[in-house]
Amino acid sequence: MIDFSLTLEQRMLQSKALEFAQTEIKPIVQIIEESDNPEIEPWDFCQSVFRKGTELGFTSLLLPKEYGGLGGKCVDLVLVLEELGAVDVSIASSYFNLTAAMSLFVTRAGTSEQQKRILSHVRSGEPHLYSAAESEPNVATSDLFCPIPDPNIGLKTFAQRDGDAYILNGKKSSLVTNAGIADAYFIIARTALDKPLGESMSIFYIPANTPGLKFGNRTEMIGWKPSHHAEIHLDNVRVPTENLLGKEGEGAKLLMLLPEVAIGLAACYVGLARAAYEYALDYAKKRVSWGRPIIQHQSVALKLADMMINTQAARLTVWEAANTADTNLQLAGMVKAPAAKTFAVDVAIKNAQTALEILGGYGVTKQAQTGKFLADASIGYSCDFTREVLRLGLVNCL
Ligand SMILES: Cc1cc2nc3c(=O)[nH]c(=O)nc-3n(C[C@H](O)[C@H](O)[C@H](O)COP(=O)(O)OP(=O)(O)OC[C@H]3O[C@@H](n4cnc5c(N)ncnc54)[C@H](O)[C@@H]3O)c2cc1C
């Protein structure tokens, strides 16, 4: 039997996230969105939000209680992220989803010594922001999905073994989330250049203050204004072997076992799809044309009905993927997570476009929320891999 009802604890968690999003995130987003100053550093504003969210347990939600986490499931995470994403998808995704998922990654890929050492901050409740970097400026990130076993295809950042350490050299793309503001980095580098990418990627944990780790300026994007993205330069970065996560060359396998990143991102986009729907619904009830609220014109009403139906369908896809992540990691990683991410982003883009249409000319003004919805939704297309390569990967599993 399928039971979609939430437990009392889950409903309380959802309310806590809703209240946090409305009272803490919303005012900060308003300040950042309304500022025309390109010099503004969003992290200066978002830092306090990240601290409060960490105190509420949103970044340690998935960690076992023995590490000071809440011992929650992926289903709990998506409930929280939908609420945060409804207010701002970039804060939900960049700060909370990424940190929650990478903390979980340490418990999956790390030895017990690494888990204790790297996650020691969780117990103290100190905020600890993570960044994860695979993409590079002169390499198509989609190469990560390439089935051709050609060693020349893919990432070039190289980790050379040197005694009890690796020396990393290379550059990561200007899109890397939290680059320059994070407390620690998970960097993907090749540990062999004569083997195909799938057999030569390794994952290194690198604290922010490691010598040789440098960052570019903040990248400005069409949306996601509250988040921070920049290049990472690795210039003879010495990483002790104790900071290699998993075995050398097993990075690709390990990443497949972290479907929570894509599922969490999908949940953020369900939040955006819902927000766009609710915004358009509210407008349609108030705007009068031909003597009646526009919601009473069938063509508008049907658009709103489709927005509601699609949001519901995306939510169920995400919940099912989250439930699978809690029971069958492999299936979630190969099929359910990419499917949920692709579908939720498609629905968010469609709802954002429709909301813009329902608002008529006001939809394209800066005063309306619809421009932000559309810009933020469009970014989901390529963030965490494009819908093309995700679907191509999926097809291989059919
Ligand atoms: C908001 C945001 C946050 C990001 N955060 C991070 C981060 O934290 N860390 C990080 O490492 N990276 C990050 N990225 C980078 C992101 O992962 C890549 O931009 C994304 O995977 C697309 O890769 P690309 O830009 O290199 O495009 P390419 O791989 O160059 O693709 C270009 C186009 O070609 C298509 N394409 C490529 N290959 C194929 C194929 N075989 N078949 C069909 N079509 C194909 C793609 O679908 C796309 O339309 C972020 C990106 C964004 C937008």
For residue 383 and ligand 1, the question of a CB distance below 6 A is answered with yes
The residue whose C-alpha atom lies closest to atom 21 belonging to ligand 1 is 385
For residue 132 and ligand 1, the question of a CB distance below 6 A is answered with yes
Domain 8-128, what fold?
Answer: Butyryl-Coa Dehydrogenase, subunit A; domain 1 (1.10.540)
pLDDT value of residue 381 = 97
**Token pair for residue 390?**
């995700």
Q: Residues of the chain whose pLDDT is less than 70?
A: 1
User: In Å, what is the CA distance from 104 to each residue of 74, 83, 94, 173, 298?
Assistant: 10, 21, 15, 24, 47
Domains of the chain, by residue range, sit at 8-128, 131-250, 259-395
pLDDT value of residue 1 = 65
The residue whose C-alpha atom lies closest to atom 32 belonging to ligand 1 is 140
Directed axis angle between helix 370-379 and helix 260-286, to 10°? 160
Q: How far apart are CA 6 and CA 3, in angstroms?
A: 8
pLDDT tens digits, one per residue of 62-109: 999 999 999 999 999 999 999 999 999 999 999 999 999 999 999 999
The residue whose C-alpha atom lies closest to atom 40 belonging to ligand 1 is 389
For residue 142 and ligand 1, the question of a CB distance below 6 A is answered with yes
Q: How far apart are CA 13 and CA 19, in angstroms?
A: 10
Ligand 1 centroid to 382 CA: how many Å? 5
For residue 389 and ligand 1, the question of a CB distance below 6 A is answered with yes
For residue 392 and ligand 1, the question of a CB distance below 6 A is answered with yes
For residue 379 and ligand 1, the question of a CB distance below 6 A is answered with yes
Of 99, 94, 18, 116, residue with least CA distance to 61: 99
Domain 131-250, what fold?
Answer: Butyryl-CoA Dehydrogenase, subunit A; domain 2 (2.40.110)
Ligand 1 centroid to 243 CA: how many Å? 27
Q: How far apart are CA 310 and CA 195, in angstroms?
A: 43
For residue 140 and ligand 1, the question of a CB distance below 6 A is answered with yes
pLDDT value of residue 256 = 86
Mutate to test the pocket of ligand 1, among 234, 265, 346, 383 (most ligand atoms within 8 A of CB): 383
On the question of a common fold for 8-128 and 259-395, the answer reads no
User: In Å, what is the CA distance from 221 to each residue of 32, 70, 82, 224, 227?
Assistant: 13, 34, 22, 7, 10
pLDDT tens digits, one per residue of 147-180: 999 999 999 999 999 999 999 999 999 999 999 9
259-395 homologous superfamily = Butyryl-CoA Dehydrogenase, subunit A, domain 3 (1.20.140.10)
Ligand 1 centroid to 378 CA: how many Å? 13
For residue 141 and ligand 1, the question of a CB distance below 6 A is answered with yes
Ligand 1 centroid to 3 CA: how many Å? 36
Which ligand 1 atom is the nearest neighbour of the CA of 172?
11
pLDDT value of residue 38 = 76
